[in-house]
Structure 1
């Protein structure tokens, strides 16, 4: 079994786990996450820890934790290098929004420990809505009231939704006017990974049949967008290919995961280095064909090549959504003990089981404690090492 297959198998297990998981303190201190990894014996412990680190806004450490599963310096054949050089970079956001005008179904994936992928999908929403997209399907959702409530809640799905950038993605979609729906399968003991792919596709096909003139955006994990042969052979076909079978519609599939940075820069995909871009790009040749990997790679229609992250005071610069979000620096004069967790909730969402718009751990008094937030009123909650609230105040972000 190759590495991709192993990862897919483990995430099948993790997805089952996190859908059932009820966690009193989902936002944990780094020390507690590391301690659990040391004593945990499950084979997917690094994946779960990486997800937990992402959930407290620590993108860098989440990547580094993921890398503990192993990796190697990537090699690229001369043939693949020459093939890649035929393509030129185009801004990924602009390309997708323009291409989507002639599509009815767009499927984009994510790595569950990589909040950048969720932020990038968020950046597409306004343009896609303008181009007629009205439905957003997500696999992590289990909340029948979200379209009425207009914001996600802690118990509204899997562990992934509790991460701020996932919640922000859903909130942004709701504010724009998207209808959200869950396409995940119903877990029953005895069902297989193949059953999951089939049932996911059936749920999407049903929504499309019920809304025959609507356009759909699907945000999925990893290999579910695979239109070729998936990493797990027992799947036979992944969700995206099954959707095509059931609807006759060929989706526009966008892979974010394969050419994204690793925690160890030496393990970065070779195409990141070859593209050498400061922005997220899709490579297009003179025939208007998109680069999707190797010469015979049928995984997806195109591959986003994200640049290596630039950090500003410890926070990824892409969190600002090209300046649409603002930086709020927490004043630490009233904080007398460290470390602390800082959580920023949209007004009226904390008391209604909402999910914070941003979370950071402030490790010491010298740290620049920047939160990245849209304009609006927020409730800021500061918790000490014992998860006790020591500060609770409101702040207007202008």
Structure 2
């Protein structure tokens, strides 16, 4: 719980600090991120370092670096072990899509350093759209032109620069969602309490202006809590405030607590006990969803238990979006210098400051670089260790 305190307290201050900074090299070699972390002296250096790794496509390094913020090894009590025996796992995607038929507002959270959470939200989009959802609210988005432009750009937000966040937005727009941000980036020195209220008020405006609409909200960490938040000065988190303002009881889904950590010793025991190959929601014999330990006062409606990542061609297995994305192995002939950074952009987006659909680092010619891409046309950009473009070529990924 101490870690969630840290993540929530620091994420907004970091976000505000970097929100207006001049453009730097966004997608970096791992050695350069290592060097930056080593030289940095700010108290949140592991948080920003984990985010830099996430943006660069280094999933495991992002988790490992985040763990350096400090954490304790979780222990399952005897009471919680007995409580868990009442539940069985169901496929989380199928459960949520089916449940969405009777919901008006669904809220999922993410850890800002964990791209897997964005991929899971992406996996829900078509099913939710088919069930009437038309609006996607994103805490991290600060781009009023994204629906007109039809793709996110580097200035769309801080966390949205990460490829899987860009893919989430791109997929939503292609399906037909209206995408909006709801964070207040304009009011200076917002208290934590006022921030939660502002977020809820901004979402409520969209709901009031679209009374027949159904809304999916993707937020960070503790903003999803309907009960008592970890930070008592908030009094209520965004989800609780939204109910207070609109009278709507959102369906809240936590992704953070039961996701793998960089150090396996820090994984919640529930992951190993559940032991399934798919993201799961636990359901008891009365149809109630598991939402945490018995004494949990934070209150969300359910928690997703994500399985331990398996790797194929050195890439996380969940990147392929259940087979909807394809693997492309980059020929060594395309790489003129090592190490190389390879970025895959949707056509016309590289020239317009778009977000790459995938990014990989290739250290030497003994390594095979594998991009994981949705079928379509791409411009592939190859950079050397000095971030100079050494090659570019077009790629058509077939279904």
Match of 1:227 in 2: 226
**8 Å contact kept, 1:8–1:231:** no
Residues 277, 65 of structure 1: CA spacing in aligned structure 2 closer, same or farther, 3 A cutoff?
same
Q: Distance in 2 between matches of 1:118 and 1:363?
A: 27
Aligned residue for 1:343, secondary structure, equals strand
Q: Residues 182-215 of structure 1: CA distance to partner in whole angstroms, max 9, x if unpaired?
A: 1101343332111110000000011101100110
Q: Distance in 2 between matches of 1:257 and 1:363?
A: 31
- CA deviation after TM superposition for structure 1 residue 334, in Å: 3.8
Aligned residue for 1:220, secondary structure, equals strand
Q: Residues 112-158 of structure 1: CA distance to partner in whole angstroms, max 9, x if unpaired?
A: 0100000000000000000000000001111111111111111112x
Aligned positions of 1:1-398 closer than 5 A:
2-157=2-157, 159-297=158-296, 298-398=298-398
Q: Distance in 2 between matches of 1:318 and 1:220?
A: 20
Aligned residue for 1:23, secondary structure, equals coil
Q: Distance in 1 between matches of 2:218 and 2:260?
A: 20
**8 Å contact kept, 2:141–2:180:** yes
- The TM-score, its normalising length taken from structure 2, stands at 0.97
- CA deviation after TM superposition for structure 1 residue 4, in Å: 2.4
- The TM-score, its normalising length taken from structure 1, stands at 0.98
Aligned residue for 1:364, secondary structure, equals coil
- CA deviation after TM superposition for structure 1 residue 355, in Å: 0.7
- CA deviation after TM superposition for structure 1 residue 10, in Å: 1.4
**8 Å contact kept, 1:330–1:369:** yes
Unaligned runs of 5+ in 2: none
**8 Å contact kept, 1:259–1:304:** yes
Q: Residues 358-396 of structure 1: CA distance to partner in whole angstroms, max 9, x if unpaired?
A: 001111111120000011110000000000000011111
- CA deviation after TM superposition for structure 1 residue 73, in Å: 2.2
Q: Distance in 1 between matches of 2:350 and 2:367?
A: 26
Aligned residues: 397
User: Bigger shift: 76-85 or 63-72?
Assistant: 63-72
Q: Distance in 2 between matches of 1:17 and 1:299?
A: 31
Q: Distance in 2 between matches of 1:20 and 1:81?
A: 47
Unaligned runs of 5+ in 1: none
Q: Distance in 1 between matches of 2:21 and 2:185?
A: 15
